[in-house]
A and B are shown apart, each in its own frame.
Chain A
Amino acid sequence: MSMRQIIITLVFALGHCLSTQAAANAPAAPPDDLDALSLADKAPTASMQPARPWRLFVEGAVGQGKLRDTGSNFSIYRGSIDFRFDDHVAPQLRVVFSDRLDGVDSDGVPPGDNVNTLREAYLSWARTEDQIFDFGRVNIRNGSAIGFNPTDWFKANALRSIVDPDPAVLRENRQGTVVLQAQQLWRDASLTAAFSPKLARSADSATFALNVGATNPSNRYLVAGSYKFSDKFTPQLLVYGGDDDPAQIGLNLSGLIGDAVVAFGEFSAGKGTTLVTQALRIPEANSNQQRAAVGLTYTTGFNLSLTAEAEYNSAAPNGDQWHLLAESSQQQVLSTAQALQDLPTRSQWFLYANWKDMLVRRLDVSSFLRQDMQTSSRTLWLEGRYSWERAELALQWQLFSGPEGTVYYAVPQQRTVQLVLRVYL
């Protein structure tokens, strides 16, 4: 063996030894990863509780507000109990029951009242896995928009008490309509038909009234069909009408723009009367009306979702028409719009923000600004909500502002603030 070969052999042997030694000394993983794995080793083994078919919580709220007319402060005290049950009572038979009782004590406007809201109570029978029938009070809710839903026709007169102006809560805390409903499903399509019969003519304000006069004042129907053309596009077409309601056609669209933006649009059109004539009970022939809401929701990398929505209602007064109304008439139009959950003026902007886990885990912050474009007034709402395992604490603040004679100046309250504690049982 030559000297050169010996040197090469020695170098290889040394290299091998060093690499073996280096491998033996190498950390098993980066220190941060090791810490994380050690933490995971110690993670407790949770005992799995089966999901309960019911949800029950109690809620207490204290708040204060300021009345615009007198400038005086008023107080709000509220206690609520909220129950929901949803389970199969037989292999193909499901029972849903959802109810809420609010007891409100307030010296403001409106004064406090005790109101029970039977939201849902129905039986659902799955004849086959793709054909289902429902009977009872069902909260039928359609619409792809966030702040104003032109195709959510059964929202009219569905609210018994407003404890929170968040649009998501308004959709939840309302009475369903008594219907017979059927749904047929296909792989990429669905067709639903509902018939809502006339059960009573007038609303009933008694605390525990079923209030079917508000939810079933006339015979009505709704047919809704959707088809999934692609992952990004599933339009829904709707037709609604009844004895007292001329036929309306509706369309819901939503789609993705990139991986952070959802675009949505919601439209309805049909014959109807104007909001002013409904509020002031003025006889008027039906005319063509259109309602629309279009918007975008953008989500940032830190999970803040921002929605901008443009809303339009041809049946509502424009700025000039609003200003021609007497103050009492403005109040009537505003309260009618609130009862119907319709836009009080021709056009508005609705901006909504929701930040999950803002800065700290379990702290969610939500806010909306509703800007009336006809009378330059606005309402602003802000909520911070912190959640524990079985409780939530929320601080809510709302402001109505604008010059005298504008839409949100007509709201009796100037501002309210309340602290809400919810405990799940």
Chain B
Amino acid sequence: MHSFTATLAFAMGRWLIVLVVWLGVTVVAQASPDAQSILAASDEIRNPSRPFAVTVTLLEYRSAKQSDENTLTVYSKADNTSGQFRTLIRFVAPQRDVDKLMLKSGNDLWFFDPASQSSIRLSPQQRLLGQASNGDVVTVNLAKDYRAELLGEEDTADGERVMRRSYKLGLAAVSPDVTYHRVEMWVDATSSRPIKARFYAESGHLLKTAYYRKFQPQLGRERPTEVVIIDGLDPAWVTVLRYSDYAWRDVPDAWLQRDYLPRFKPG
């Protein structure tokens, strides 16, 4: 009898272990979020779902002293085919740059100067705004350009120095046309808000760190209204991007091409 009980207990124990392991795997599988979905949810917070316009003010600091300031109006619209944004940027200040335009549609990048009436194709490496690359200013759906991998969960300080439980994502470029080869991104585990990101060159060195902060209700959601960019080589080189005057604003598809640039004059 004792032997039977012991055998039964042993068999039940084995089944119990199998059950526990199976349950554990199932629970873990259900709890483990999909990295690409986390990134897409974070994109939705940064980028409104419909065509919009926003004013971006760039304040640049070198060694704690303000070295430059630019103001731009950004018009963004998602391409129906690729899902990626097409962006038209109008320079508003300083005075010498007023009405200059930059058009970015994928890697089709044009700069227009109203004075000379000339549209010049730019390479992605050409920067018009100091430390900020063209890719920092235009609207980008990261989930379209990068393959995300969940690197772990950790507590990280956000742009307001508050500790947040976050998903740390590793983003690998799926297209050679993107601005950054590799990105590390921290996304709030509760709200899907982007917290910060580190952008790397193909060589592996850190290009810049960005903090997303000052979340405010804009166009139907809480969105970051400030991004602080810190240079990877010179941490005393800081650019503050402030987003204001969000508005739903559509522009016809035909306007988002080089030959329309001389005519772009929003009313």
Contacts and interface: CB of A to CB of B under 8 A. Distances in A.
Interface string A387-402: 1011010000000000
B73 to A, nearest CB: 8
A132 B22 CA distance: 68
Given A40-B240, A234-B257, 11 more contacts: A35-B64, A35-B236, A40-B226, A43-B240, A44-B59, A141-B118, A172-B113, A183-B263, A356-B127, A361-B60, A362-B68
A115 to B, nearest CB: 18
Interface in A58-95: 84, 86-88, 91, 94
B71 A48 contact: yes
B99 A51 contact: yes
B15 interface: no
A390 B228 contact: no
Interface stretch (A199-207, A278-286, A296-304, A318-326): A296-304
Contacts, number: 184
Contacts of A43: 59, 61, 66, 240, 242
Interface of B: 55, 57, 59-62, 64, 66-69, 71, 73, 90, 92-96, 98-99, 105-108, 113-118, 121-128, 130, 155, 157, 159, 161-163, 176-177, 209, 211, 213, 226, 228, 230, 235-236, 238, 240, 242, 244-245, 252-255, 257-260, 263, 265, 267
Interface residues of A, number: 79
Given A33-B211, A185-B260, A228-B257, A256 B96 contact: no
Given A231-B108, A234-B108, A392-B96, A86 B123 contact: no
Given A48-B244, A183-B259, A183-B263, A36 B235 contact: yes
A192 B122 contact: no
A88 B122 CA distance: 29
Contacts of A254: 121
Contacts of A16: none
B157 A132 contact: no
Interface of A: 23, 27-29, 32-37, 39-40, 43-44, 46, 48-49, 51-52, 55, 84, 86-88, 91, 94, 124, 126, 129-130, 132, 139-141, 143-144, 168-169, 171-172, 183, 185-190, 192, 226, 228, 231-232, 234, 236, 254-256, 258-262, 264, 297-301, 303, 305, 356-357, 361-362, 387, 389-390, 392, 424
A299 B125 CA distance: 6
Contacts of A129: 252, 254-255
Nearest to B107: A231
A357 B99 contact: no
A185 to B, nearest CB: 4
A33 B245 CA distance: 28
A152 to B, nearest CB: 9
A303 B127 contact: yes
A110 to B, nearest CB: 24
Given A28-B157, A48-B55, A172-B116, A256 B107 contact: yes
B263 A132 contact: yes
**Across chains A and B, which 8 residue pairs bring their CB atoms closest together, nearest first?**
A32-B235, A190-B259, A28-B157, A231-B106, A185-B254, A171-B116, A231-B108, A28-B161
Contacts of A46: 57, 59, 69, 71, 242
Nearest to B108: A231
